[in-house]
Amino acid sequence: MKPTPNQSAFDLTGQVALITGGGTGLGLGMAQCFVASGAKVVLVGRRHAELERSCQALGPNAFALAADVTQLDSAPGIIAQAEQLAGPVSVLINNAGVHLKKPMLETSDAEFAGVVQTHVFGAFALTREAARGMVARKAGSILFTASMASLMGIPLVVAYSAAKSAYVGMVRSLAVELGAQGVRVNAIAPGWIASAMLDQALKGDPARKAKILGRTPLNRFGDPEDIGWAAVYLCSPAAKFVSGVVLPVDGGAAEAF
């Protein structure tokens, strides 16, 4: 078999990607790269105005869908609405999430459950519904936004670490279960990525910034598009034999931690 021509190996023309948490941050970075690669994107989030602003910036191949993934019974409707807007969902990116930085001894059961509800239960419900159509069509790609907390011990984020580590198990199990049906399942584990959230976290704390950069061999923060292009690769024909992987995109931090 001849190799796929380079110009089409990463082409996502004809694909429809549903991206949760797609209005800002990493989700928006992925949406920008997917649109640039020819895909249509449906951005899902709770703030409709924010989604609309992002879609206007992305152009006519972007669609806003206001929904809350923690409302598990809404998952079938989310998929149905997305397909009415843009066509059959061929790519699902589970990116919506919440963060909780708190000592374990001060973390309540409700706080722990809230983080798991968004990341694990919300992603599973949407994955199950999206996978129905993918299995029927014998094609599809499912991507989870994991974390360095999936791969290494990070203090003060036990709920977040538990939720993101659960993604790793889901990826491995689903890659095996759905592979024969033509559906690939992977994850990206981002490192420290430049964003308003990171700026706020590091504001007035130069020692913490220096510590992070000291643990990152490339000695800089990543850009949202670094995550976006990795996502394009994993969901493109270039990665047609890649399934069940957790890809760190972290400037080498996981190896140097």
Residues involved in catalysis: 160
Which two three-digit tokens encode residue 110?
Answer: 């409700």
Which two three-digit tokens encode residue 45?
Answer: 């989030």
Which one-letter amino acid corresponds to residue 191? G
What distance in Å separates the CA atoms of residue 125 and residue 151, rounded to the nearest whole number? 24
- If you search the block for the tokens 């089409």, which residue do you land on? 8
Cβ–Cβ < 8 Å for 167, 123: yes
**Strand 62-66 and strand 91-94: pairing?**
unpaired
DSSP code per residue over 123-161: HHHHHHHHHHHHHHHT-EEEEEE--GGGTS--TT-HHHH
Cβ–Cβ < 8 Å for 77, 6: no
Q: Which of 65, 185, 180, 62 is nearest to 123 (CA)?
A: 185
Give the three-class secondary structure for 183.
strand
What distance in Å separates the CA atoms of residue 108 and residue 42, rounded to the nearest whole number? 34
What distance in Å separates the CA atoms of residue 107 and residue 81, rounded to the nearest whole number? 36
- If you search the block for the tokens 């931690």, which residue do you land on? 257
